[in-house]
Amino acid sequence: MKAARFSTYARAGTLFLGCATLCAHAQSSVTLYGLLDTGVEYLTNANKTNKTLIQSSSGNIQASRWGIKGVEDIGGGYATTFTLEAGISPSNGTLALNGREYGRQATVGFRGNGNELWVGREYNPMYQMGNLFDPASYGLYSLPTQDPGVSARGDNAIRYQRIIGQFTVDAFYSLGYDTLGAPVGGVSGASSQSKDLAFAVHYAGPAIGYEFLYDNLHGPLAAAGTGLTAIDTALTAQPSTTADRAQRYIATGSYRFDRTTLYAGYRLLKVNYAGSSINANLFWTGFRQQVSTQWVLVGALYQTVVPGKDVKPFSSVVEVKYLLSKSTFLYANGSYVKNSANSTLAVDSGGNTLPGQNQLGVELGIFHAF
């Protein structure tokens, strides 16, 4: 009888302790998330030829990915956080970003009372800026077509955000940056090499939003980091050195009314590359229109001008989305690039054509988020 009572009390104690543990961490969670975006693309003047191409294409609206993120309440209004996010290619099932297992993000940090800190492989604030103020929101035809560097990430990075009312202050520093390729930096005695420093101030109001951002990337510069490889391959023909720099000054804003959001932005790129100084002005504008509960229309215009180089690529983008549910939609995208005599811009982000050659791209696909 006594043994039975003891067993009952033990089970009750175990349940009590389990409940206490669950209650203490009631706000802790781990979430699996991701998205898949794939379709078919038609291109004219493909692969630096005058021939057309039809191919499988992924990441047309957003790059496909899956990830795990977690939050643990540690009391006092603070929590620890982590994110592991992998890029994937649904067309063939392989990992994106040169095969990195968690190439999009791998961070751990803290948040609470309007502050957030991350350490690890992290998005540069320019990436968040593009998602918020690029009408085409970082699709395959979008702002990074003109400047792949604005979709940068940083290895060995520290990022801090402070929310003050409707303002967010963002600071980022990478001890050895990386964009999409192999990591760069970490050389003993080379304290200024391959570092990336960025600051941003963001305002989010009921109708108006805007952001001012500065980014300073130290050499040797990866191809995308220069911001010039997509618009004219001749501008970066020589190998980059430790003395090279790429500085971006960005001002952008949006205005939302009813079902329409308007966007405009400007980026000044100042590059010191292989002993030459090059400035490049990038302008963009566009809109997003919720036509009905199921139809969404996006239009965008982008142009870069490099003074004195006859490099003036212009690109236009149209997106049509048909919403099947809150998580899934079908889409049709079109983009046309008109190149000046020396520009080599292609419709696909990071691509190139022959100098002065124009290109048309059309995508049909399906997008699903989970």
List, in order of start, the domains of the chain with CATH numbers.
Answer: 30-369 (2.40.160.10)
Whether the pLDDT of residue 124 is over 80: the answer is: yes
The pTM of the full predicted model, rounded to 2 decimals, is 0.88
Q: Report the range out of 13-17, 79-83, 177-181, 217-221 with the highest average pLDDT.
A: 79-83
pLDDT for residue 144: 94
Whether the pLDDT of residue 37 is over 90: the answer is: yes
Choose the weakest-confidence range: 34-43, 166-175, 218-227, 245-254: 218-227
Whether the pLDDT of residue 266 is over 80: the answer is: yes
pLDDT for residue 9: 39
Structure tokens at 75: 């009391």
Over range 346-364, report the average pLDDT: 94
Reported as a single tens digit per residue, the pLDDT across 125-144 is 999 999 999 999 989 999 99
